Amino acid sequence: MRLLLLCGLGLTLQAASIQLERDAARKDVFVLRGVAASAAAEGFSVRVDAAGDVPALSGSYERTSEGIRFRPKYPLQGGMKYKATWQVPGAPLLEARFTVPKVEVTSTARVERIYPSAGVLPSNQLKLYIHFSAPMSRGEAWRRIHLVEDGGKEVMLPFLEIEEELWDPSQTRLTVLFDPGRIKRGLVPHNEAGPALLEGRTYHLVVDRAWPDSKGAALTREFRKTFQVRTADRTPPTLGGWKIHPPAAGTRVPLRVDVPEPMDAALLQRLLWVIDGEGKTLAGDVALQADETRWVFTPDAPWRAGVHQLRAGMTLEDLAGNRIDRKFDVDSFEKVEMRLTVKTRDVPFTIPAATATPR
């Protein structure tokens, strides 16, 4: 769309236009051309072309030799209509409308797994981790995830529906929090609505097939996780019952650590380290087994004989959010330390020397 526009001090007549283009990375950008380099970027905005007071899209602006480029923060939706405008004091309104073509894409994304893996969870379960096979779209979680009782009735508002969904950087893992207000005793939501999970009941966590991935394609199929609910867990985990199974030196046989109860999957992968006799953290791969009651570490290099340490971060949690030696359901008025430090504790174990092979 092009029109005549007075720019600068009103002494120069220029042809100005707004166009929707693709950059080198195949991302949609709006380009305002034919305006002075000093033109105000603040007057350039893009909205969904709909009735009512529609907020402008968020994104970034860039001044170039051709004018002003606006790059939306999130991809434009196929089939959606958008309106781009530029309006500054002393100049007429410049406006352009665009319809983004709807591209038919094949469904490939699926839910790969949900943590916890166990089929029995405590009634004060705190978190769920949903892992997808491909990057997913944002802003869909709270209408695509459902908690359903065994009889088919959906549980109302079981999750903490925060606007900024808790995705990892790849947008393939979503962290879902059960509403802590319905977990902690003594709080208003717990007293009025009660816990989302009731002991002795069976539930189904349902992920809609219609959830679009980052390209707009729906999941290949619906996903369901069925689980039963046991009594609430309000006992903090300790390191006392952990069993370490060390391999022999000179091998890359995995180190196995068995814990008495299922632990938070993401934290169990991130908050355990192996320290060698020189105080160095060993590099290697981590795997979780047996419903997150087993931590398996395969070193990059063969084991060396001697005393090692299994180092655990004290913020490691069980399924109910109880930390090492500290329960989740504490007095809500207890003092909280605002320090970004990770306290750790070491558990020693010995890598035995390789046994000589008899001749």
pLDDT digits over 222-263, tens only?
999 999 999 999 999 999 999 999 999 999 999 999 999 999
Asked if domains 2-99 and 243-351 share a fold, the reply is yes
pLDDT over 70 (residue 308): yes
- pLDDT for 193 equals 61
Average pLDDT over residues 280-305: 98
CATH level 2 (architecture), domain 111-230: Sandwich (2.60)
Strands 202-207 and 223-230: antiparallel
Average pLDDT over residues 119-125: 97
- pLDDT for 183 equals 82
Mean of pLDDT over the chain: 87
Three-state DSSP at 106 gives: coil
Output the six-digit token pair for 110: 């699926």
Q: Reading across the β-sheet that carries 59-64, which strands appear in turn? A: 2-7, 12-22, 28-33, 67-72, 59-64
CA distance 238 to 24: 53
**Topology at the third CATH level for domain 2-99:** Immunoglobulin-like (2.60.40)
Segments making up each domain of the chain, as ranges: 2-99, 111-230, 243-351
Pick the CATH number of 243-351 from 3.10.290.10, 2.60.40.1220, 3.20.20.70, 1.20.120.1200: 2.60.40.1220
- pLDDT for 10 equals 32
Close Cβ partners of 86 (under 8 Å, ≥ 6 residues apart): 16, 18, 32, 35, 39, 43, 44, 45, 93, 94, 95
pLDDT over 60 (residue 15): yes
Phi/psi-derived region of residue 110, left when phi > 0, alpha when psi is between -120 and 50, beta in every other case: beta
pLDDT over 70 (residue 82): yes
